[in-house]
Structure 1
């Protein structure tokens, strides 16, 4: 083993010149930022290609790695997208929370050709964090290889795929990047721009509705002339305004969105090329109406006498048919209640006889098969099946009942919503991090209807719940995944709501502390799939037709972070978090097609354990929570 040390880095190499340890010189915890089944620097490429690795420290103390690829044959060699891969095993996996907070990182990857980078954030927020930027060459995608025995708890080994030209005999091409330390996301952007001509794209939003104008800047260190810069969409030049601030070039662009489609803008900045991905979508209400029509017409099951009569089921967009299985994430209950919730919320905005008739049949189904209005029990599947008594189901049922109360103005549903949460707490919910608990709404409506005893009982239970979360602090308990965004986000939500209810600043202070950790799950890549979208990487396996793991950019539960952002913004009058909430809610809209269809997951990496990735799963399953949150926080989503 060989060890190299400078004022910033400690690195250890094995006998094959692969990295086995990378840490900061001053880190008293001795965190290793690289870990995986493969070693950092392991490279694969086609037969006839010889590769080598060189490493050196730069004058300012950063670490450079150069990967050289040489054609040793007598013939030219071309490459498919995934023929060459370099393992960059950032230490991003999920053990117990205390280990994650101290020893793991979130790897935010942007494959932006000659402006590619990785922003690795220490999970507990302890600076410095580790960054990587391409100095020479082009990275076009990434794949992952996961330890499948860890199921949802291993994000996998990251493999970066360089884009190489056809290599002639004896020709060599190089890919070089630099590893560096940074303090926070703003400092990361500054560090990117320390490289001359490295274009950094800035925009507040990456998903836009038709009729809105995209606004973005491209910023790079150096003074560049207009003729050195190209901004194009579909081979048509986009006008830009050029200005200089000292030794920095700033290009400002605008583009009017006139269609619901991906808007991939190609950028050439002197010698570097990159891109930015925006998304156009129909107006929010139009999207939701089309989605509700799809649910009513294609996802509701009709067969008198069947347990499933009235259910909203999975729809297979490939096979054009409904699907049901008693398998938990494919059944007639659980997360899929979001379809009924969306319809109930939308009907409060706009009358529709067909939607109402469908919803009424769905309500009958829920109360027949999935809910006991005498005890408040929520069942896991049809026929009041309780093979798994799952506490997550309770807040979702309570949300549904609150929306029915709002729609029909019927106190029965408000009473049911209370009874559901009462049962949740009787079953141990006070120590569980339930998702989307509607505490403020439920309490306010109970008070409005003079249901004083119920209001006092719920407030007591919920406040005790929030106190438990406060006392746990960053020591999050494991649930279906050991540590994830949808454990932290519900914790923050409970604390913020508890502060609104009690005005106890202790709850607010703890919420701010935990929200700082929650924000680390979100990246800022210039891509609508990833910008302000939380890292999640297992949902395609459990909820998708193809049952594949891999980063899901986006996944609808990312909206939970947006919900925390907007709640915090309203309390504090903070415009920054209002804009971040807008990006979070909009960031999930790519899950919905232009015809009302939907996908439960976008499996984002190029390959996952050797299987083709980068696809929309064909199942419309549980993704409608994203539209519900967008509508529930419509003012934030639209931003007017």
Structure 2
């Protein structure tokens, strides 16, 4: 018997990865002091016992009330450390020695599924065997900025302990091969209850179906108190008809083992989209005395109900906020093509006027149409250039071409991409590189010389990515989902352009890595949501690090799944694409407002979280992805 497990290394792991980081204690129990008006320490004591039996690690925590009065605890009053190595060093180290930790703290069937970043087994599973967890927090070293997710603090569900009374929290840790094996072993080591919805974000009028699979013969299974009937396959099922928008919490109980699941109902996509573009056009565009900003689409502060601009890169008038302009042009194109219907006939002309003003602003302030240079912000701040910007602004002009048919917009996009490669873009992994849109547009306007040059540049870029494999270059973050997803996306687009089968094979290698970021938990904040944990700091009003579930760039994975699914006729990837793309829509509110991200943990370094950040900043890419997916589905239907 040992007091704490210093290392967890699975015997069949050829990389001998230690699943516990050394800079935090394992299973350390922390008690938060009482109310600020009475900050005396609590009369609670904890005894922790950890036993290791081969590749199994069993930890038991006994919490006792040693005082003379009852102790009532809230969700965040007790924290138990779980120091998994979820941090970003270099890409090679990440592949073999780091993990993506997917936590589900929602009842007595809580679990953690930690996936090695490179995708190679064994992975780590943790399943609760006694007690109940309600949430988790993170404690981060801010000096490591975006590259360290921190130490997890598991929060037991609220307790009431009488004097001398004790309660137990216990779990078992084990190795597993993959997701199915994780759930199988979770049922082997505990009275586990697996739950899963067929969709987690749904539109009003749709139906979501819940499947419940206890790992034991349960006498009574309920969903929100309603008893369910066991089907022939041993599972229990129920459904929610989405007749009203909002969050729906469904708590499952199987002989006392509980699981809290969550789904979200949104307004129909057409209505969500129409309200959002109307809000952008009517409330998020600057029209005022600052001539250089005239026409700019800016951040909107939902708390204080006004526009916001700052010369800092993530709050300025350029960069990711071009997604709003792309969305406006994309919306008008879809309306023209009758891909979507219009409920309010005043919206399209409002959006058209706004888009024209924004396009004038972009041409005047953010690009040089002759050289293809994309500036980071309005003058005079034109010294900093960012490779990420070029593909986005090229995409904007390509969308303008799709709307208005002006060849000059295609040429502007081509010059931007030419300049991107002149500036070293071939060695970079850009987000949303418009391989297919540019080449198709160049072909349509008959510019075969530029088409040949663009095809050659894109092909060389893809071949370089294929050759690098999992050796990803560091970017603004050392290693992240939005490095891996663009690698796969470029490979798949160039495969579609050239028919090179080797690029499709290379893309599959990227998908294996990309999938490790994806959550499997039965909660719309987590299921098919990629792990990201810094965007709230950089793009949010409150500047808070911590798990951002969802963040709109998680939708990049949905696009990759869709491209691969269409390329291979794989219905599984097509279903996952739909789920991943819907999973970012919670950032678009039903009234037309929006948020740049949801900070998911209970707290981050003691600061309360669980909120949508007040800034509507750059999240409209979520709708860009949704409309593009509609186009992809339309093309697949026509092709069929």
Q: Which bin holds the TM-score, normalised by the shorter protein?
A: over 0.9
Q: Select which of 378, 381, 393 maps to 2:377.
A: 381
Q: Which residue of 1 aligns with 2:249?
A: 264
CA deviation string 1:564-584 (max 9, x = no partner): 100011110000000000011
In 2, distance between residues paired with 1:393 and 1:99?
29
In 1, distance between residues paired with 2:85 and 2:18?
7
Structure 1 position 510, deviation (Å): 1.1
CA deviation string 1:439-494 (max 9, x = no partner): 01211121122110010010111111111111211010100000000000000111
Q: Which residue of 1 aligns with 2:294?
A: 309
**Pairing 1:198-209 to 2, within 5 Å after superposition:** 198-209=192-203
Q: Select which of 345, 351, 367 maps to 2:330.
A: 345
Q: Which residue of 2 aligns with 1:56?
A: 51
Task: Answer yes or no: is the 8 Å Cα contact 1:563–1:581 preserved in 2.
Answer: yes
Structure 2: gaps spanning 5 or more residues:
34-41, 337-347
Task: Answer yes or no: is the 8 Å Cα contact 1:66–1:175 preserved in 2.
Answer: yes
Structure 1 position 387, deviation (Å): 3.1
More off after superposition, 268-277 vs 191-200: 191-200
More off after superposition, 441-450 vs 613-622: 441-450
In 2, distance between residues paired with 1:348 and 1:264?
37
Q: Which residue of 2 aligns with 1:407?
A: 403
Secondary structure of the residue aligned to 1:363 is helix
**Pairing 1:30-429 to 2, within 5 Å after superposition:** 30-35=16-21, 37-45=23-31, 47-57=42-52, 62-195=56-189, 197-225=191-219, 228-232=220-224, 237=226, 240-245=228-233, 249-304=234-289, 306-350=291-335, 352-383=348-379, 385-429=381-425
**Pairing 1:492-571 to 2, within 5 Å after superposition:** 492-571=488-567
In 1, distance between residues paired with 2:421 and 2:189?
55
In 2, distance between residues paired with 1:147 and 1:213?
43
CA deviation string 1:550-596 (max 9, x = no partner): 00000000111111100011110000000000011000011111100
Normalised by the length of structure 1, the TM-score is 0.94
Q: Which residue of 1 aligns with 2:486?
A: 490
Structure 1 position 224, deviation (Å): 2.5
Q: State the number of aligned residues.
A: 616
Q: Which residue of 1 aligns with 2:38?
A: none
In 1, distance between residues paired with 2:300 and 2:7?
47
Structure 1: gaps spanning 5 or more residues:
5-12
In 1, distance between residues paired with 2:172 and 2:139?
23
Normalised by the length of structure 2, the TM-score is 0.94
Q: Which residue of 2 aligns with 1:443?
A: 439
Secondary structure of the residue aligned to 2:71 is coil
In 2, distance between residues paired with 1:188 and 1:231?
24
Structure 1 position 27, deviation (Å): 2.2
Structure 1 position 62, deviation (Å): 2.4
Q: Which residue of 1 aligns with 2:37?
A: none
In 2, distance between residues paired with 1:604 and 1:270?
29
Structure 1 position 244, deviation (Å): 4.1
Q: RMSD across aligned C-alpha pairs, in angstroms? A: 1.7
Structure 1 position 438, deviation (Å): 1.1
Q: Structure 1 pair 381/332, CA: closer, same or farther in 2 (3 Å)?
A: same
Structure 1 position 92, deviation (Å): 0.5
Structure 1 position 193, deviation (Å): 2.3
In 1, distance between residues paired with 2:569 and 2:322?
33
CA deviation string 1:106-162 (max 9, x = no partner): 100011211110000011111011000111101100000111001000100001001
Task: Answer yes or no: is the 8 Å Cα contact 1:36–1:157 preserved in 2.
Answer: no
Q: Which residue of 1 aligns with 2:339?
A: none
* Structure 1 residue runs of 4 or more that deviate by more than 4 Å after TM superposition: 635-640
